[in-house]
A and B are shown apart, each in its own frame.
Chain A
Amino acid sequence: NFMLTQPHSVSESPGKTVTISCTRSSGSIASNYVQWYQQRPGSAPTILIFEDNQRPSGVPDRFSGSIDSSSNSASLTISGLRTEDEADYYCQSHENTNYWVFGGGTKLTVL
């Protein structure tokens, strides 16, 4: 079974753009959809991106998702950073009905 690897932390200034990567260890990143979640301290995760690049209604278009087969990775890009974007971010995918996996999470600091 594959793993999803994320950077432990990233930081950027307000108003800038940051990209968080999620690399699949084996098998193609394009084989199964990737989701992205935001989790603030003490709260449940909320979905930001589903099916690689789809945004649920209510999620600002500052958040976007993509996949890159050449690096076998997915990416979450947040533009126009705000202090309220400071949170943990998780990617998630699955391989079959009994293997669903999350990346280790990335702590975003907006300095």
Chain B
Amino acid sequence: QVQLVQSGAEVKKPGASVKISCKTSGYIFTRYYMHWVRQAPGQGLEWMGMINPSGGSTSYAQKFQGRVIMTRDTPTSTVYMDLSSLRSEDTAVYFCARAATMDYWGQGTLVAVSS
């Protein structure tokens, strides 16, 4: 069965970076794009960007250009999302979601940014 398992919660100080992993199983890793979506406390879903695990190409939301890097490690079927220059507004739960239809989601990773 398809599974997306994300890394654990993080607490970071303003200005720091965070790197979240999303380890996949149960399907051919290179066949489906992976999106990253975040949700601030009490707010809606916000698309951050996506990566094509086949070649590693990426597309980022304009809001995050220059601050986000998405990568993948094909041997371990894992994608990563690195967000830098963190500020308090980046406090959110971050999700990975598979494919154009976002048919499978990771469980979410809470990132708290606080001084």
Binding site for B on A (CB under 8 A): 33, 35, 37, 39, 44-47, 50-51, 56, 90, 92, 94, 97-105
Are B47 and A100 in contact, with the CB atoms below 8 A? yes
Contact A45:B60 (CB < 8 A) given known A35-B102, A100-B50? no
Q: How far is the CB of B80 from chain A (nearest CB, A)?
A: 18
Does the CB pair B101–A97 fall under 8 Å? Answer: no
Contacts A97-B59, A98-B59 known; A47 to B45 CB distance under 8 Å?
no
- With A97-B59, A98-B59, A100-B47 known as contacts, the answer to whether A44 contacts B102 (CB < 8 A) is no
Contact B44–A45 (Cβ < 8 Å): no
Check B106 for interface membership: any CB of A closer than 8 A.
yes
Q: Is the interface of A mostly helix, strand, loop or mixed?
A: strand
Task: Kindly list chain B residues whose C-beta atoms are within 8 Å of the C-beta of A45.
Answer: 45, 95, 97, 102, 105
Q: Which residues of B contact A33 (CB under 8 A)?
A: 100-101
B45 & A35 in contact (Cβ 8 Å cutoff): no
Q: Could you tell me the distance between the alpha carbons of A45 and B40 in the complex, rounded to whole angstroms? A: 14
Indicate the member of B49, B101, B106 with the most A CB atoms within 10 Å. Answer: B101
Question: Closest A-chain residue to B101, C-beta based?
Answer: A50
Q: Is the CB of A46 within 8 A of B105?
A: yes
Contacts of A98 in B (CB 8 A): 49, 59-62
Taking CB atoms, residues of chain B closer than 8 Å to A47 are 101-103
Most buried by A among B45, B95, B105: B45
In the complex, which residue of chain B has the Cβ closest to the Cβ of A56?
Answer: B103
Q: How far is the CA of A60 from the CA of B62 in the complex (A)?
A: 36
Contact B44 A37 (CB under 8 A): no
Contact residues of B between 70 and 115, Cβ < 8 Å to A: 95, 97, 100-103, 105-108
Q: In whole angstroms, what is the CA distance A92 to B100 when docked?
A: 10
Cα-based distance from A39 to B49 in the complex (angstroms): 20
- A111 to B49 alpha-carbon distance, docked (Å): 37
Q: How far is the CA of A104 from the CA of B44 in the complex (A)?
A: 6
| Chain B residues positioned under 8 Å from A92 (CB to CB) | 45, 47, 102
**What 9 pairs between A and B have smallest CB-CB spacing?**
A98-B59, A44-B105, A50-B101, A100-B47, A102-B45, A105-B44, A97-B59, A104-B44, A47-B103
